[in-house]
Every structure is written in structure tokens, then in C-alpha cells.
A and B are shown apart, each in its own frame.
Chain A
Amino acid sequence: MRTTVTFHHRDKVIDLVQGQGQWILSVEDMLFPPFHVRTHASSVDATNTVVPLVEPEWEWIQENEESLRENYAGRWIAVLLNRVVAVGRSEMDVLRSAEELRYENPFTFYVPTQSEPVAMASCS
């Protein structure tokens, strides 16, 4: 039995094909050598037919890094798609706040304070 898991990332189509206990990764027309899936009580989940390669919220956070720092530095935020839906002092705080507001499975992120990463960023 062959199982194919297809991912879409930007303009690329990526296939992960299982056959005879091996997984083969294919990015567009390129085939990579088969990988043996080791079992340390772990397994690849082939039930999802389409899995985004990058969570959309992570892309949005990176694109909006500056404005997030201005507004939420030192806080945890919960993001759904391109919107901050909850803010908290800890990850548990923000998870609970989002849940109370009926936002399911938000992307949580700690926004570093200005003194943390900006020093290095300004050097680059």
C-alpha cells in the first residue's frame, strides 16, 4: 500500500510517499533517497493529506515584528491568522484568555523586549 502526503508551500508541491516501509520525499520533480522511519515509539502520521509547511501565524509574526514589539514587548500573545486575539504575562495566561474568548488553538508567541534582540539587530 502506498500513502502519499502532499504539502503545498508557496509555489512548491512537496510529496511524501510511503511504500514498503520507506518514505520518499519529493519536492516538485526532485526525488530524494528513501528514508527509513525508525520506530523509537514514534511514527509518521499519514492521516493528514495537506499540511501547511509553515504555520501562517509564524509568517505573519515575522512580517510584523516591529509593530508587535512596539505594542506587546515582554508579553505573550495569541495569534490567529493575522490578528492578535489575546495578550498575557505567561503562556498559560494567554492560552486561557484565548480559550475564554472562544478562540481555538491560537499560535502563542513571546514578544521579546526591546532590550533583548534589538541590540544585535542594529549591529547587522
Chain B
Amino acid sequence: MPRTIQYNYEYQYRPTQTRNGEWVWEPYIDAVFALEEGSRSRRGIALVDSGAAWCAMPRSIAVDWFGIDAGACPLEYLEGITGNVGVPYATFRVKAFGLWATCKVLLIESGLYLIGRVPFFSLVGVGFFEDEVNRSNNRILCT
């Protein structure tokens, strides 16, 4: 029986409230975003988004904190409900699940930091378990 690393999923952070007043849990973990060169980094929490291919971070932080010229960045084209949208990206070193990786990070017009599948889901298996009633049962399992 393989052992797993269990992340605390008990802390409820920025829950999404639906129109009928329900709350849903969101799986945040600690993560670090750093440029390949330079001393600045952003240490904080990020949403594990298994539906996202790429990691992402707020464009405003990329520009104002890391000094990235978003207008000069290459674009990744994503298919969305509004069509094919070009989103600038830059290469960052990202730490998640205790692993450092160098990868593409999309610079999005949102306050969210996302941990996408590439490359972390190639390195670890990630499972989400939620209990709508008892939050102490919520957990992210990483094997």
C-alpha cells in the first residue's frame, strides 16, 4: 500500500459562494514563484487547478513586482467560450508539492495564482477528497 503525502485542505480560503448561498471548498497549497534570474520571488498560496494545463499568476504582480514586460511576452493561445484567446506567458521557477520546476506561467487578468498540470502532474499523482459537511475530512493527497 503506497504511502501518500497529505496536505491540509481544512483551511477554507476564498470559498466560492454560489447564487443560492452555498459555499464550496477550494484546494489551495503553498507555492513559490520566482524568476530564473533575480532575487525576487512570490511566496504564498496557489489554487491547485487540475483543469488548467499551465500554471498562472496575476499579470499585475508579474509586471509590478517582477518587472516583466507583458507586452513583449510570447502568447499561449487558449480555447475558451469567447474563442481563441492569446495570453502572455513567461518562464518562472515554481515550487509546488515540495518540488521545484522551471515552467511556463501564464500572466492572467485575475488575482489568482494557479498550479496547473504541467509539469507537476507528470511528477506526482494528485487526488482531491472533499466532504461537504465536515471540513476536517477534506484533503489533497499527493503520491
Contact = CB atoms under 8 A, between A and B. Distances in A.
Interface of A: 5, 7, 9, 12, 14, 16, 23, 25, 27-28, 30, 32, 35-38, 40-45, 47-48, 51-55, 57-58, 62, 65, 91-92, 95, 104-110, 112, 116-117, 119-121, 123-124
Contacts of A28: 3
Contacts of A105: 39-41, 43
Contact of B98 (A51, A62, A109, A124): A51
A58 to B, nearest CB: 4
A30 B11 CA distance: 29
Given A40-B103, A42-B104, A91-B61, A121 B135 contact: yes
A7 B98 contact: yes
A37 B98 contact: no
Most chain A beta-carbon contacts within 10 A, residue among B64, B104, B123: B123
Nearest to A10: B5
Contacts, number: 128
A32 to B, nearest CB: 6
Main secondary structure of the interface of B (DSSP, over half): mixed
Contacts of A7: 98
A97 to B, nearest CB: 13
Contact of B135 (A37, A44, A58, A124): A124
A1 B107 CA distance: 36
B99 A117 contact: no
A65 B123 CA distance: 31
A112 B90 CA distance: 29
A92 B61 contact: yes
A93 to B, nearest CB: 11
Contacts of B136: 124
Interface string B95-117: 10111111110000001000000
